[in-house]
Amino acid sequence: MELILIRKIVAHLSPSMKARLKDSPLAQAVGRRMLAREVVDFREQGRVFSVRMDMTNICNLQCKMCPWPALAKSGKVRREDMPLELFQRIAEQVFPYTRNLQLGCEFEATLHPNLPEMLRIAMDSGVTQSGMITNGTRLTPQLCEAIAQSDLTSVGISIDGPDAESFESIRIGAKFDQVIQRAKRYVETLQRQERPGPRLKINHVLMCSTLDRLDDFARLCIDIGASEIEFLHCAPRTRENAEYAGNRPEAYNAARERTVLLLDAAGVRYDIPDPFDLDDETGRYEVRDVNREICGQCQAPWRLMQINSRGQVFPCSPRTVKPPFGDFRRETFDEIWNNLQYLQLRYELRTGQPSGPCVGCRSFSTGKALEEF
Ligand SMILES: C[S@@+](CC[C@H](N)C(=O)[O-])C[C@H]1O[C@@H](n2cnc3c(N)ncnc32)[C@H](O)[C@@H]1O
Ligand code: SF4
């Protein structure tokens, strides 16, 4: 109650007054005292974290559904590869408490010159489940070997079309034949070695323009030798997004049924969104109003860390649009994990008062985002 009252008073202050108040030692001390209940000792929890890390902030492609091309065109991006020493420091502090580690989430990890060394560091950290996603364009024989010999659980290659024409019109800058040949080369590398190595997972963004050939896409993945396929809806899930499959629900349901039959028969694992309820049109689209019940299930500020190539920490992907919660270049995990921003966010979610990007966020409605890989 006291906190709500303070927030109401602060809301009436000017932006400069707010900033001065927030940074004052008194406000920090009062805040920490009031939010003491939200302090979490990560050392007592064991391996519970899901960590998503980008080691670079650029990509070599211009995929039509991805936010990267617009960012690149804005001219605001200066390439920043994570120094190996910083990766090592984060690994030492965070990986002993990490259950799931995902490398290369928003950009293209294979562009980092030290990727093989980073895989070795991750391997030595004992993380039980780990993965990496790549567009596959730079999977050289040497990199295939380094990944195959790593302890990653899986490596994901993104393929968004069943043939050269559709693939190259979506994954702009990539060559279909080259990526398929590289994916097959990875499977052959795995087959040559004695230990199983990271299984090949294909990531596929479901799009209206390719839905009718989803079964051909499944045949392609079977031919490549993929162990698993992860199908994802094309964000944003809005009527304005012409590629979002929710705009062609009957076509999606029919394509899904054909595809699942094929994959079951071939023994390929898959994760595919449920069929659409044809009687519930509004349920297919993103909800942009406050949904307290949903936010109440979010575990991100207790279990998730999103780390960018500068070493800045965010509690989740939607909040990467806001200032970071911490910075491994100057702070330790101890200092970041229970700072005022984390305590405040935990308080808001635990008490059902979401703010900013949490409002309407559905990412963690099922807790599934913490279980994936
Ligand atoms: C942003 S990419 C970064 C990793 C790597 N560059 C790649 O393409 O796999 C991560 C995944 O997000 C997918 N993706 C890109 N834009 C998307 C969108 N609008 N909706 C859903 N998934 C998207 C990509 O296809 C890829 O599987
Ligand atoms: S390869 Fe990945 S990061 Fe690059 S533009 Fe395509 S989806 Fe985005």
Q: Most confidently modeled of 8-12, 32-36, 124-128, 330-334?
A: 330-334
Q: Parallel, antiparallel, or unpaired: how do β-strands 154-158 and 228-233 relate?
A: unpaired
197 Cα: distance to centroid of ligand 2 (angstroms):
25
Give residue 20's pLDDT.
Answer: 66
Pocket flag, ligand 2, residue 59 (CB < 6 Å): yes
Residue 367: pLDDT over 50: no
Which residue, judged by its Cα, is nearest atom 14 of ligand 1?
Answer: 66
Ligand with minimal distance to 109 CA = 1
**Residue 147 Cα to ligand 2 middle (Å):** 20
Give residue 107 CA to ligand 2 midpoint distance, Å: 6
The rounded Å distance from CA 317 to ligand 1 centre is 13
Q: At 298, is the pLDDT very low, low, confident or very high (cuts 50, 70, 90)?
A: confident
- Beta carbon of 65 within 6 Å of any ligand 2 atom: no
65 within ligand 1 shell (Cβ under 6 A): yes
pLDDT band at 230 (very low <50, low <70, confident <90, very high): very high
Ligand 2 pocket check for 135: Cβ under 6 Å: yes
Predicted confidence at residue 3, as pLDDT, reads: 62
Confidence of residue 2 (pLDDT cuts 50, 70, 90): low
Range 340-349 average pLDDT: 90
Instruction: State residue 31's pLDDT score.
Output: 72
25-29, 95-99, 291-295: segment of lowest average pLDDT: 291-295
Q: Say whether pLDDT at 311 is over 90.
A: yes
Check: CB of residue 204 under 8 Å from CB of residue 160. Answer: yes
Q: What is the pLDDT of residue 32?
A: 73
What is the percentage of the chain residues whose pLDDT exceeds 70? 87
Nearest-atom number in ligand 1 for the CA of 107 is: 3
Q: Alpha carbon 314 to chain centroid distance?
A: 12
On average, the pLDDT of the chain sits at 89
- pLDDT of 14 higher than 90: no
> Can you tell me the distance from the alpha carbon of 49 to that of 275, in angstroms, rounded to the nearest whole number?
31
110 CB less than 6 Å from ligand 1?
Answer: no
CB 92 within 8 Å of CB 309 = no
How would residue 292 be classed by pLDDT, with cut points 50, 70 and 90?
Answer: very low
Quick one: average pLDDT of 261-271?
97
State the pLDDT at residue 80: 96
Strands (E), the chain: 49-53, 98-103, 129-134, 154-158, 199-206, 228-233, 269-271, 304-307, 312-314, 326-327
| Ligand positioned closest to the Cα atom of 202 | 1
Determine which residue's CA is closest to atom 6 belonging to ligand 1. 108
Check whether 139 has a pLDDT greater than 80.
Answer: yes
Q: What value does the mean pLDDT take over residues 329-338? A: 95
Whether residue 201 is predicted with pLDDT greater than 70 in this model: the reply is yes
The Å distance, Cα 106 to ligand 1 centre, comes to 7
Supply the pTM of this predicted model. Answer: 0.88
- pLDDT for res 355: 83
Q: Is the pLDDT of residue 371 over 70?
A: no
Question: Which pLDDT band, with edges at 50, 70 and 90, does 369 fall under?
Answer: very low
Instruction: Reduce the DSSP state of residue 326 to 3 states and report it.
Output: strand
CA of 136 to the centre of ligand 2 (A): 10
Residue 13: per-residue pLDDT = 67
pLDDT in tens, 158-184: 999 999 999 999 999 999 999 999 999
Ligand nearest to the CA of 58: 2
Task: Write the DSSP assignment of 279-318 as a string of letters.
Answer: T-SGGGS---S--HHHHTT--HHHHEEEE-TT-EEESSSG
